[in-house]
């Protein structure tokens, strides 16, 4: 019998819809896989075996009754632990939410359930999505399935690792500065940050409200497109949701034709600081796009080098505001109330000291400082001006080209612990991904092979104008198909560490 964990999401949906395999069998196969490998990967914080099997049984019942199934009915999925799921532990990788079970579903979660997608459990992440390595989780680091001594990226390393380890064919991530795309790059998977407002943020526990965006993680571009189409669309519960038609990302992934497309290489996202093997695979992919008929040119975005600094003012500022609600009074952790006769303020202080990790504390303090009287204009105000310049650079570039490309991350996966004591070095992992979040435009990371010096995955980033997400899928699928024809596709093989 075929190993059901090796099927793509599209293949899984097909065999379930035909009755060749039951959704329960598919779910059980993935639960068994989690049981076999997750002690080494630690992609999951909570596995909902009973819930997943019940969801799968409902799909089988619907098929048996002759109901029309959705395109992803019966396909298992791993859900990043920053999305609420009714009755299921949701921690955001933080002690301060330990034991919290939300009374409601996020809109993304609700749409997945309505589509018959089988939610296997919640995946590990950097605390409140603050990090690039998933080492800042209060519940231990996730390991990269390609090399268990290396990071799987962050903050959504759990989602990317679950997909790369064949524990789930699909996952949901969230991307504030690269937290879907950078993990995808270093785990050899596909990760997409949709247009800001294209996917509802209702029920996504906020880090930085003007930057956060949920999106798909998958092993193929078509699978990512099917998931994107399932979760996207206007939501009246989210005031930032765009009331516009969703681009036909599935048709774009199936088209996979870049002939005549104008592709811009971002001059400022490359060169010094980028690993030689990353550059080599990127350059080979560029040559391949040219062979496929794309018109490739260099484009300058002069404000992009300042995006990183602006982002690390804007994000902590919004984070310090959003995380103020975690005070031990209403939900989650509460510390110190039995210690004498403490005041409310003392309980709050003790809870926050015990509940927030070092990176969360660092960013809350930075943001509070940047927003304080006398510093707001000097820091937050100036950062927002840089953000405007980045948006203008994107607008100018897209007058000349259809899409922009760059390496997704400057290096392959680094070793666990290597950058924990150097926050600035850690922050530089997002240097290529942050501009997209500041501008609100969509971006995708697609695997383009393995770096020759270490045999680890390399990702290429595709960027498109707002609400032109379909262009990402067209370019990503064309590259994927060409690479498969030429070398075989590294992400469809067993990650060597497992």
Tens digits of pLDDT across the chain (498 residues): 679 999 999 999 999 999 999 999 999 999 999 999 999 999 999 999 999 999 999 999 999 999 999 999 999 999 999 999 999 999 999 999 998 999 999 999 999 999 999 999 999 999 999 999 999 999 999 999 999 999 999 999 999 999 999 999 999 999 999 999 999 999 999 999 999 999 999 999 999 999 999 999 999 999 999 999 999 999 999 999 999 999 999 999 999 999 999 999 999 998 889 999 999 999 999 999 999 999 999 999 999 999 999 999 999 999 999 999 998 888 888 887 777 778 888 888 888 888 898 999 999 999 999 998 888 889 999 999 999 999 999 999 999 999 999 999 999 999 999 999 898 889 999 999 999 999 999 999 999 999 999 999 999 999 999 999 999 999 999 999 999 887 765 555 667 777
Q: Looking at residue 201, what is its pLDDT?
A: 98
Domains and CATH numbers, the chain: 4-303+388-492 (3.90.1300.10)
Report the C-alpha gap between 142 and 412 in whole angstroms: 16
Residue 446 DSSP one-character state = E
Within 8 A by CB and 6+ apart from 2, the residues are none
Residue 323, token pair as written in the block:
């995380």
Closest CA to 293 of 435, 425, 18, 479: 479
Place of tokens 């040559």: 287
Residue 210, token pair as written in the block:
């003007």
Report the DSSP pairing between strands 403-407 and 457-463.
Answer: antiparallel
The DSSP string of 264-331 is EEETTSSSTTS-HHHHHHHHHHHHHHHHTT-EEEEE--TTGGGHHHHHHHHHHHHHHHHGGG-SSSSS
Asked if 31 and 47 count as a contact pair (C-beta separation under 8 A), the reply is: yes
Handedness of CA 319, 173, 160, 267 (dihedral sign): negative
- List Cα–Cα distances, 224 to 10, 161, 230, 308, in angstroms: 10, 15, 10, 27
Place of tokens 């262009």: 471
- Residue 354 burial (CB < 10 Å; 0-12/13-18/19+)? middle
Asked if 100 and 89 count as a contact pair (C-beta separation under 8 A), the reply is: yes
Asked if 402 and 262 count as a contact pair (C-beta separation under 8 A), the reply is: yes
- Residue 112 burial (CB < 10 Å; 0-12/13-18/19+)? buried
Within 8 A by CB and 6+ apart from 385, the residues are none
Asked if 459 and 479 count as a contact pair (C-beta separation under 8 A), the reply is: no
Catalytically active residues are 80, 155, 179
| Residues across the chain | 498
Other Cβ atoms within 10 Å of 287 Cβ, number: 11
Report the C-alpha gap between 303 and 235 in whole angstroms: 33
Report the DSSP pairing between strands 118-123 and 170-174.
Answer: unpaired
Report the C-alpha gap between 127 and 136 in whole angstroms: 6
What pTM did the predictor assign?
0.96
């Amino acid at each position: 019998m075929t190993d059901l964990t090796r099927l793509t999401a599209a293949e899984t949906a097909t065999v379930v819809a035909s009755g060749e395999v039951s959704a329960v069998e598919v779910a059980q196969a993935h639960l068994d896989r989690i049981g076999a490998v997750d002690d080494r990967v630690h992609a999951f914080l909570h596995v909902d075996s009973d819930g997943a099997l019940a969801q799968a049984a409902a799909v089988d019942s619907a098929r048996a009754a002759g109901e029309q199934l959705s395109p992803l009915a019966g396909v298992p999925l791993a859900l990043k632990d920053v999305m609420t799921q009714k009755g299921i532990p949701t921690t955001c990788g933080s002690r301060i939410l330990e034991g919290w079970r939300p009374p409601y579903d996020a809109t993304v979660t609700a749409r997945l359930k309505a589509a018959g997608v089988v939610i296997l459990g919640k995946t590990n992440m950097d605390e409140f999505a603050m990090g690039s390595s998933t080492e800042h989780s209060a519940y231990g680091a996730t390991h990269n399935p390609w090399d268990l001594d290396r990071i799987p990226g962050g903050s959504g390393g759990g989602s990317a690792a679950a997909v790369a380890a064949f524990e789930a064919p699909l996952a949901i991530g969230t991307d504030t500065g690269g937290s879907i795309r950078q993990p995808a790059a270093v785990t050899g998977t596909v990760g997409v940050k949709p247009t800001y407002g294209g996917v509802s943020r209702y029920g996504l526990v906020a880090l930085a409200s003007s930057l956060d965006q949920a999106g798909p993680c998958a092993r193929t571009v078509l699978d990512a497109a099917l998931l994107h189409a399932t979760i996207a669309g206007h939501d009246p519960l989210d005031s930032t949701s765009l009331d516009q038609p969703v681009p036909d990302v599935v048709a774009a992934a199936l088209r996979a034709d870049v002939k005549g497309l104008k592709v811009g290489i971002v001059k400022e996202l490359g060169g010094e600081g980028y690993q030689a093997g990353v550059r080599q695979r990127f350059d080979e992919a560029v040559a391949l796009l040219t062979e496929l008929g794309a018109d490739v040119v260099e484009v300058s975005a002069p404000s992009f080098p300042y995006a990183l600094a602006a982002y690390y003012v804007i994000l902590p500022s919004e984070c310090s505001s959003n995380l103020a609600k975690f005070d031990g009074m209403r939900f989650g952790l509460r510390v110190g109330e039995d210690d004498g006769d403490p005041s409310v303020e003392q309980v709050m202080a003790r809870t926050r000291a015990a509940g927030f990790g070092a990176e969360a504390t660092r960013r809350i303090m930075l943001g509070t400082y940047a927003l304080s009287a006398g510093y707001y204009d000097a820091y937050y105000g100036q950062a927002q001006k840089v953000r405007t310049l980045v948006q203008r650079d994107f607008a100018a570039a897209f007058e000349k080209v259809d899409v922009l490309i760059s390496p997704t991350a400057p290096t392959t996966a680094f070793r666990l612990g290597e950058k924990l004591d150097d926050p600035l070095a850690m922050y530089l992992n997002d240097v290529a991904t942050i501009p997209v979040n500041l501008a609100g435009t969509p971006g995708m990371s697609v695997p383009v092979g393995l770096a020759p010096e270490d045999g680890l995955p390399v990702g290429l980033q595709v960027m498109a104008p707002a609400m032109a997400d379909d262009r990402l899928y067209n370019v990503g699928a064309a590259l994927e198909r060409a690479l498969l024809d030429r070398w075989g596709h590294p992400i469809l093989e067993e990650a060597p560490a497992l």
